[in-house]
Amino acid sequence: MSFAEASAGVLGLFTDGRPSVTIAVSLVGVLILWTVFSIWRQYTRLSHFKGPLLASLSKWWLIKTVGNGRAYLDFWEINKKYGSIARVGPNDLITSDPDFMKHILGVRTEYRRSDWYDGMRFDPASNNILSWRDEDEHFKLRSKMAAGYGGREVENLEPKIDKNVLAFIQLLKNYAAEKKVVDFGRKAQFFTLDVISDLAFGKPFGFLETDSDVYEYIGTTEETLPMVMVTTVVPFLVKILSHPLFKRMLPSEKDRLGFGKIMGIAKDVAAERFGPDKKIQKDMLGSFVAHGLTQKEAGSEILLQIVAGSDTTATAIRSTMLHIVANPRTYNKLRAEIASTNYSTEVIPESIARDLTYLQAVIKEGLRIFPPVAGLMAKEAPPQGDTFKGVFIPGGTRIGYGAWGIFRSEDLWGKDAGEFRPERWLEASPDKLKDMESTLDLIFSYGKWQCLGRPVALMELNKIYVELLRRFDFSLCDPTNPWKVFNCGIFSQSELWMRVSTTDAN
């Protein structure tokens, strides 16, 4: 008997001589072989990078990590264990090398935004300044928005921030008068939400005035954000969610509460600036419209401002305040500098705050010790690939931003990299300081991808610590367990319980 006859006989045992079953078995076999070959090819493509075995074979490790609430720490552990460029997915790397990140984000970079950014479409059918991957479209949109974000065309930008600082202070005074503990984490977010809504379209939402989660925006956003971040590592989910069958599951502008309610407000506010009876105001939205944003683009950008412009600045404020209050040396030194500063306005002008040496060191150290954004924000290597420090990065590979590893690198920050110590910014040599500051700039990204909201965020930071520490005494209710933190790219921080009392001068 020939080998072919024997094989046919064996196959006949399973197919019972039926051609259709034979074809089905053959197809299953081909599918299995193709799957094994695809996994092997993907594995070997990045096999010169170390990482968890599951991560090299499947996206499941990355999905689980992004959704578990502590991804920023898990990625840091990966870089510590496997090196400054480590593998976290079949086509995904993460780096804790600040030089590599600067290379990726440089002016002449050939890297592009990866499909990670598809998950940043808060409306799956529409792009925004953060989600656009087309270089030309991103540049055009950015050009239309730069003046508004820069504040050049926003009337009373600094006075509006001052007004909301005073509203925050009044809210804390109410708690101090009643001797009630305050969740500083939540109140800081009330403040940043009111600032950005006031600047974006001329009126604060009223979080501070009502001392409440208006429209239940914060609560519903914190519930849905983990799923949003999962779409960044499984981008095809965005296309699935765009299908009419699933669209009903997403937030809608018709919703009475939550993220959908904010979507509706953004759309309505944008609509007011168009048509025959359009409203003309010298706020950020007015600047965007004047420079050519369409009504649909305006609605998308307002929504992005509220999400990205409030959560990140709130994280900086609450995490830095936690470190200030928890470190008596820093607390007393900063208060002494504030007490020696004279100004006649109710809220410190930014021009004066920028010249306070220790304050600036505290702001920088606060951003370093707790970077407000810890999402991968993965960029894609150019088609021909790239070589960095002698290591080849295959074309199309996604490289993520390992924030905790970068900002706790002992090579750059010293043996005390894990310690909150503003003095490091005052003691560094000129060359060392230049390196430290260029690395800190990664928090706001570089060049064409630099955060447009940076000037507004820094203005808030320059004012808020001065006015809080000038007017109040703070202490942590539970220094051993001061807050609850959940991260899925950006942070949710709550139950930062503090006791607050007014100073003798107030």
List residues forming the annotated binding site for heme: 451
Strand pairing report for 386-388 and 484-487 = unpaired
* 203 vs 169: CA distance, rounded Å: 19
Nearest to 230 by CA among 115, 348, 114, 67: 67
* DSSP 8-state class, residue 59: T
* 331 vs 44: CA distance, rounded Å: 52
Local structure of 486: helix, strand or coil: strand
356 torsion bin: left (phi>0), alpha (psi -120 to 50), beta (else): beta
Annotated binding site: which residue ranges? 451
The number of C-alpha atoms within 13 Å of 157 and in the hemisphere containing its C-beta is 23
- DSSP letter for each residue of 202-243: SS---HHHHTS-GGGHHHHHHHHHHHHHHHHHSTHHHHHHHS
* 103 vs 270: CA distance, rounded Å: 38
* 316 vs 493: CA distance, rounded Å: 11
* 351 vs 27: CA distance, rounded Å: 71
- Triad 52, 56, 59: Cα angle to 5°: 100
* 26 vs 269: CA distance, rounded Å: 59
Q: Which helix (H) or strand (E) holds 379?
A: strand 379-380
* 506 vs 495: CA distance, rounded Å: 26
* 284 vs 144: CA distance, rounded Å: 11
Nearest to 200 by CA among 252, 162, 145, 239: 145
Nearest to 362 by CA among 312, 407, 327, 314: 327
Local structure of 391: helix, strand or coil: strand
Print burial letters for 109-141: b (CB count within 10 Å at least 16), e (below 16).
bebebbbbbbbbbbbbeebbbbbbbeeeebeeb
What one-letter code names the amino acid at 228?
A: V
